[in-house]
Structure 1
Amino acid sequence: MSGRAKEIVTRARIAFESKRTRPIEWRIQQLRRLHDMVTEQEQVLADAVYKDLRKAKFEVVVSELIVLKNEIVTAIKNVQSWAEQSYVSKNLIQKMDSMYMRKEPLGVVLIMGAWNYPVVLLLNPIVAAIASGNCAVLKPSDVSENTAAAIAKLIPQYMDKDCFPVYLGGIPETTVLLEERFDHIFYTGSTPVGKIVMTAAAKHLTPVTLELGGKSPCYVGKNVHMDIVCKRLLWGKLMNGGQTCVAPDYILCHEAVVDNLITYIKKTLKDMLGDDPKESPDLARIVNDRNFARISKVIDTMPKEKLVVGGERDIETRYIAPTVYKNVTMDDEVMASEIFGPILPIITVANEDEATKIINRQEKPLALYIFSNKPQVVENILEHTTSGGVTVNDTIMHMASHNLPFGGVGFSGTGSYHGKWGFDRLSHERAICWRKQNMEALIAARYMPYTDKNLGALKYLTTEKDRGFCAVM
């Protein structure tokens, strides 16, 4: 087992050291091949995800494949400019020097994907790795085994086999792989596993990007169009059966509209999924028995009088109905940890100030959602909270854009990517000062023996001048 991990990493290291990943033309060619794979193998990928999650093809294409292809096209269009040297300002003593930064690849990157979006959360980071000139070992999640197998079969058909090997396996294989030395580790998944990854990386002082999760809150104010709010909120919650790292985890609803919210939630669920959600072809299933049991335990511990709708389950098909609770408190089991399933608790609050206090008592979330038509309410919440990202009057959309950085803060993750942010994350900005072997008189004052006269000259030549500050003085 350890031999296979070492062989794969060594092969990628040799490929990187051959310099084949450096030319921009090669990077673009590999990005085009990846785009070809996603386009030509759309049905294969959709079928694999369906086997793992019973996720509708519509949802796979919209939430994974289109997002991925947009990321690839953006990189192809911009990688040339992203990779260009950037020049910096200079002081008097540096006027004749070249002062710039080179964008250089890190080396061999480990990319560990997640089971809930098994295509995009594995292959989106590889776009950044390719664009920045790295090699990457791809480790799909073994939980979504069908998608992992499909990707392991397809990648060698389209991509450079040495630069982008796929490594399959469960916890034992992953543990062995993490013993190898990488130049960066990119992990998407749970906070507990993120701690394990970070600990393993620390042994080699390897930098990490951790895209984790947490309880992402959603505030619903009193000045809203409730029918629109419920459509957008439930779309974001029920996508992938609630198994989304940025899904609204719980609602903080203004007391003036909580009854209206519940009425429209019931109506919207019926409009989206019919009289019996179990019969809808559009609702994904829980990924495995372990997660089914975890979510079921939450339902079993919740007081029956707080149930608004749902609660039905079927272990054979791992179906859990969209389940909503009202009058929830922070002491209820549903608020103990990230739900990661189709359960939606509603906490009633007096206003946005009470909502921010509740949010700030938790760990910093990966996402925050605010539904309000009052700009001052939105700004108040933004000013008094912290989160990885925010969508106002919708859900998920800040994550879907390749023109915004995506990442967490605190327990919800470290580092961000998408578009240029991914390129920068997996690049090293190498500072270069290029000085000619002339103009010696300009720098002669720095040499020993030191004198007051030379110190005065160096102060004048090297100290930054703040004109406004000097004028006040």
Structure 2
Amino acid sequence: MNITNVVDAQKQYFKTGATLPISFRLAALKKLRKEITAQENAICEALHLDFKKPYFEAVITETSIILKELDEFISNLKSWSKTEKVTSSLLNFPSSAYIYKEPYGNTLVISPWNYPFQLAIAPLIGAVAAGNTVILKPSELTLHTANILSSIIAKVFDKGHVTVVQGDKDVSQELLSKVWDYVFFTGSVRVGTIVAKACAEHLTPVTLELGGKNPCIVHESAKIATTARRLVWGKFINAGQTCIAPDYILVHTSIKKVLVTALKKEIEAFYGSDPEQSPDFARISHKGNFERLSKMLKDSKLICGGTTNEEDLYISPTLLDEPALNSNAMETEIFGPILPIISYTTEEDIHKYVSHYHKPLSFYVFAEQKAFADKLLKKYSFGGGVKNDSIVHFVNKNLPFGGVGQSGMGAYHGKRSFETFSHKKSVVKRGTWIDIPLKYAPYKNKLKWIKSVLKWT
């Protein structure tokens, strides 16, 4: 595939104005929804072939989220797209003022391998709904899902409207060397830095959905059984390969033993005594991540788990006991089924760990003591947080999803996806039936009058 030709074709398509009518956008979204519904089993099968993702998880974390997002856009796109009238300035009397919602133009979406269907289609929906053209670059590490994405897109959209470009990092770099009107990237902080630099070359606006060391604080007032169940689900779904998964637990010393016991009990309840045989536990998506995660086990004290099978890219649900800050597991985001358990005594102990890292994408507190939870949720900066659960904030369409600092920039989901891919154009329409000369030269004896007017604007 000649990337230059593909990009040029998209530019020409956008120039025709085909994507501008709301009726065109709605038709495309409805057609996409119909095709995804028809292909849902095939999508789930592709995800299973890529890393043995359970069908249940494929539905609740990939296809169902996308179908709900499409329903939200189809229901609300007309109202979201309307020109917004705002209060006019007295300085411009007589006039009216408006905000027009217009597409940026040609957009690039680069999606990751951990949720390879959902995190490819979700931003694409926002881009299409806002009237843009899209080139989607899915991860080459989940090839079966990339192939079905390519098939679905080809059936639904004109080539110049939305196109899938497959390939390795060299293809991504070539795409990033082109001039775009908007870029949307989901992935690691390291690659996000590369994307940001490429966008800076052309002053291209960009959304970066990245990650970080997401802390989970368990207070002595927490309900242990519920906490353990919700933590095991939030951490080990998708084999821990979730950017908003709890990265490490800070648990009060007084309840550490009972929490560990409860976590071990829930892991077995979820996946049996041998999780490798469980149909409900996914595998590591690719060899590179498997090798990186395996190194984290070598310098850590195991509480449970730690079993690996390189041939099957399997790593068991694993709990680590008090790893050092300079250990492999604590130096970087884990992004796998490994969960460090670290005890704390005071809030200063919590601060030592949380402040050691950059601002996280997510932050979790388990506590029945409201004042403690509220204090921490206000004290620290993070993308999104939850009290008494983990990762569930992601599914609320009314909450913006995105990071802060090194965990990302920009946000999306629901209406905010439409806003992300829309330029808000300010327009003033002035009347000509009167033209007050106060602002025009000569300015002699006008300053006191203009000051009086400014007080009221």
The TM-score range, normalised by the shorter chain, is over 0.9
Pair 1:388 & 2:386 matched = no
Comparing 205-214 with 287-296, which one deviates more in the overlay? Answer: 287-296
State the partner residue of 1:192: 190
State the partner residue of 1:470: none
Cα offsets for 1:433-465 (capped at 9, x unmatched): 11122211x2x12112221x2222222223346
Pair 1:17 & 2:5 matched = no
- 1:301 offset after TM fit, Å? 1.9
Cα offsets for 1:362-390 (capped at 9, x unmatched): 10000111111111011110121010000
C-alpha contact (below 8 Å) 2:296/2:327 kept by paired residues: no
Aligned partner of 2:326 among 322, 331, 343: 331
State the partner residue of 1:446: 439
C-alpha contact (below 8 Å) 2:3/2:175 kept by paired residues: yes
- 1:95 offset after TM fit, Å? 4.1
State the partner residue of 2:309: 314
- 1:354 offset after TM fit, Å? 2.8
Cα offsets for 1:144-191 (capped at 9, x unmatched): 111111111121112232210111100111111111111010000000
CA distance in 2, matches of 1:72, 1:352: 43
Aligned partner of 2:47 among 46, 49, 69: 49
- 1:93 offset after TM fit, Å? 3.1
Tell me the amino acid that sits aligned with residue 445 of structure 1. L
Pair 1:370 & 2:365 matched = yes
Tell me the amino acid that sits aligned with residue 280 of structure 2. D
Aligned partner of 1:456 among 443, 448, 452: 448
- Number of corresponding residues: 457
C-alpha contact (below 8 Å) 1:212/1:411 kept by paired residues: yes
C-alpha contact (below 8 Å) 1:30/1:160 kept by paired residues: no
CA distance in 1, matches of 2:103, 2:3: 22
CA distance in 1, matches of 2:228, 2:36: 33
C-alpha contact (below 8 Å) 1:230/1:261 kept by paired residues: yes
CA distance in 2, matches of 1:282, 1:429: 45
- 1:348 offset after TM fit, Å? 0.5
C-alpha contact (below 8 Å) 2:109/2:185 kept by paired residues: yes
- 1:353 offset after TM fit, Å? 4.7
> Which runs of structure 2 are paired with 1:73-92 in the superposition (5 Å)?
73-92=71-90
C-alpha contact (below 8 Å) 2:93/2:430 kept by paired residues: no
C-alpha contact (below 8 Å) 2:18/2:24 kept by paired residues: yes
Tell me the amino acid that sits aligned with residue 130 of structure 2. S
RMSD (Å), alpha carbons? 1.3
Which residues of structure 2 form unaligned runs of 5+?
Answer: none
CA distance in 1, matches of 2:295, 2:3: 37
- 1:351 offset after TM fit, Å? 3.8
State the partner residue of 2:122: 124
- 1:356 offset after TM fit, Å? 3.4
- 1:331 offset after TM fit, Å? 2.8
> Which runs of structure 2 are paired with 1:17-416 in the superposition (5 Å)?
17-302=15-300, 306-416=301-411
TM-score (norm 1): 0.94
CA distance in 1, matches of 2:130, 2:296: 43
SS in 2 for 1:387: coil
TM-score (norm 2): 0.98
CA distance in 2, matches of 1:413, 1:118: 19
C-alpha contact (below 8 Å) 2:295/2:328 kept by paired residues: no
Aligned partner of 2:427 among 420, 424, 432: 432
C-alpha contact (below 8 Å) 1:408/1:416 kept by paired residues: yes
SS in 2 for 1:59: helix
Tell me the amino acid that sits aligned with residue 76 of structure 2. N
Q: Percent identity?
A: 38
Cα offsets for 1:408-430 (capped at 9, x unmatched): 00010000000111111111111
Cα offsets for 1:39-98 (capped at 9, x unmatched): 110011111111111101110000011111111111111111111122222343334201
CA distance in 1, matches of 2:456, 2:380: 36
